[in-house]
Structure 1
Amino acid sequence: MDAFLVSAGVVALGEIGDKTQLLAMMLAARYHRPGLICLGVLIATLANHALAGLAGQLVARLLDPDILQWALGISFLLMAGWLLIPDRLDEAPRPMRGLGVLTATITLFFLAEMGDKTQVATVALAARYDSLTAVVGGSTLGMMLANAPAVYFGARAADRLPARLIHGIAAALFAVLGGATLLHAAGGLGG
């Protein structure tokens, strides 16, 4: 349950003001089909985060447990810093001509999520927790919690959210995860 809740919370907070959230709002403004756009975001996120989760589990199997703990602790701290850097809409892919709303949303959202903060977070969380289903389910729920309102309420609602504060909270969560993981790693080496 921890893996699910931590993944959902961290990803939802990290997604506020992220380029994929901006992309979701842009698609909603262009196509005016919020249901199909949310479905596309869900499908793209499930596919992308399942791959990220598998990558995280592979890393966990390949690295020595002590080294993995140190690597995860450092990666969580780096993620905390990364979350404090705002995304810009010009980094997101442009809508594609000739594709239906659902296909365009899936394609654009999947591509925009490649190497994104929330994808990297999912890799790290899957390496940290031993439940691929909980991490992917939680991270997908977090993406939907952040993106569905963006699609339905558009830019007006998103502009009212204090993105800096929300990113600060997400960064603090990652810093706590990183610190706790490093403390655990230090205890593992001494014991």
Structure 2
Amino acid sequence: MSVFFLSTGIVALAEMGDKTQLLSLLLAARFRKPWPIALGIFAATLANHALAGALGAWVTTQLAPDALRWALGLSFIMMAGWMMAPDQLDDDQQPARAARWGVWGVFGATLAVFFMAEMGDKTQLATVALAAQHPDAALAVIAGTTLGMMLANAPVVCFGERLMKKLPLRAVHLACAAVFAALGLAALLGWRMGLG
């Protein structure tokens, strides 16, 4: 399995029931313009995860290998725990009324709100950790995590509540927590899991 597919899978799973997925649902319900919303999510995610990937690759130049291994291992294990807590949208993350501005207003509102909501989110932190674990493949991490976000959010924008009601979110969260815990243990034990 490559770093790209690992990054895609981890973020797609981690995003299920996440606050940014709830934000996608809210944006779709409020604006009812799926294309500019999906493009805004894509642009915001790409920018956010590019920053996170750059930070992750930079961290590897600042920490000794053992310190980096411990930081990665513990961060993945903390993300496993975080997966078990359901997310909610904060009042300051509610989208503004931009529908009167047309398609570009919806795109701009989505871009701004989604970018801010993703700051410090578990998928952004996962991108930092994955890029730190695989600094030579930071672009694959960024592409994979961005694709994972789109795989989780684009269907919500298009199909909304019907889709969210059918997903077994608790089971998805448990599976993702198990993956993060396994990655954390692997990092603590010094395994690179054959990815490159």
The interval holding the TM-score normalised by the smaller chain is over 0.9
Corresponding position of 1:25: 25
* Partners of 1:76 and 1:156 in 2: CA distance: 31
> In the alignment, is residue 115 of structure 1 matched against residue 127 of structure 2?
no
* Partners of 1:19 and 1:176 in 2: CA distance: 24
TM-score if structure 2 supplies the norm length?
A: 0.91
CA contact 1:19–1:91 (8 Å) conserved in 2: no
State the number of aligned residues: 185
Shift of 1:92: 6.2
Partner of 2:154, secondary structure, is: helix
* Partners of 2:92 and 2:83 in 1: CA distance: 17
Q: Which runs of 5+ in 2 are unaligned?
A: 192-196
In structure 2, which of residues 144, 153, 163 is the aligned counterpart of residue 147 of structure 1? 153
In structure 2, which of residues 102, 106, 131 is the aligned counterpart of residue 101 of structure 1? 106
Partner of 2:85, secondary structure, is: coil
Q: Name whichever of 15-24 and 93-102 sits farther off.
A: 93-102
Percent of matched pairs sharing the same residue: 57
Partner of 1:86, secondary structure, is: coil
TM-score if structure 1 supplies the norm length?
A: 0.93
Matches within 5 A, 1:118-137: 118-130=123-135, 131-137=137-143
CA contact 1:56–1:123 (8 Å) conserved in 2: yes
Shift of 1:163: 0.8
Corresponding position of 1:43: 43
Partner of 1:89, secondary structure, is: coil
* Partners of 1:9 and 1:33 in 2: CA distance: 27
